[in-house]
Amino acid sequence: MKLGAIQTAIRMFFPAQCILCREPLDRENALCGPCWRKMPFIDGSVCNKCGTPILGDIHAHLEDTCEDCHDVPPPWDWGRAALAYEGEARKLILAFKHGDRQEIAIAGGFWMAQRVQGLIAPDAVLCPIPLHWRRKLSRRYNQAEFLAREMARHLNLDVRTDLIVRPRPTIPLEAADQIERHARLAGAFDPHPAVFQSPLPREVILVDDVMTSGATLSAAAQCLSHAGVIKINIVVLARVGRNG
């Protein structure tokens, strides 16, 4: 049986479904019309540092940054997010992280690649935020790495998992406020043992699934900066609102 016939047979028994509501679709790894319309994609004016939506006229004096990033600039050059972490986006990401829905990375990585296309230098590399080995063992995969590899396919970039490591487990952050998050994650990352065995990339794009306070990404960016990386940027699938 030829490959095309095999693929047709697979679709007959396992038809494509919306990645959120599971309604039948004519293509795989996509959203149906109603779910697409409900998905809180971020567009328009955003903070150049953290990707959160801003009102351009009100924030013009802040040079395209939100008030928080203007007051306390994060340790990277620019940041973008594809979705607001609310409603349908929150359901999708929870299924991705805790429901073993690895295929969601295909759509998520594509949305993230679209969000940063035109911002990234051709020689940049993508660096997914690593998990501590115990967390990865329990979850079985690193969702940030899945997103980075899907982004890389669309942007024609390399993925580097040999830049930073997470040698120590951190206390769960769900109930922590912003100050506690940054305190718990201080020193959470170390340079990978192999990082100094080859030239450092000129630009590193840190990739993660969700940004809340930015504490995780800040700790990772500081680790890369101390290792000698000059230009660091970030991209996440979803950004928690300031009141989130």
pLDDT of residue 13: 54
240 phi and psi, to 5 degrees? -70, 135
Q: Is the pLDDT of residue 176 over 80?
A: no
Nearest-angstrom CA–CA distance, 223 and 50: 18
47-239 CATH fold: Rossmann fold (3.40.50)
Q: Is the pLDDT of residue 159 over 80?
A: yes
The residues with which 125 forms a beta bridge, in sequence order, are 158, 204
Does residue 240 or residue 134 have the better pLDDT?
Answer: 240
Q: Is 225 in a helix, a strand, or coil?
A: helix
Name the residue ranges covered by the structural domains of the chain.
1-38, 47-239
Other residues' Cβ atoms within 10 Å of the Cβ of residue 219: 22
Nearest-angstrom CA–CA distance, 222 and 180: 17
What is the tens place of the pLDDT at every residue in 56-115?
554 444 468 888 898 889 999 999 999 999 999 999 999 998 888 999 999 999 999 999
What is the tens place of the pLDDT at every residue in 120-158?
999 999 999 999 888 887 788 999 999 999 999 999 999
Q: What's the whole-number mean pLDDT along residues 158-183?
A: 76
Supply 32's token pair: 């149906």
Supply 28's token pair: 């795989």
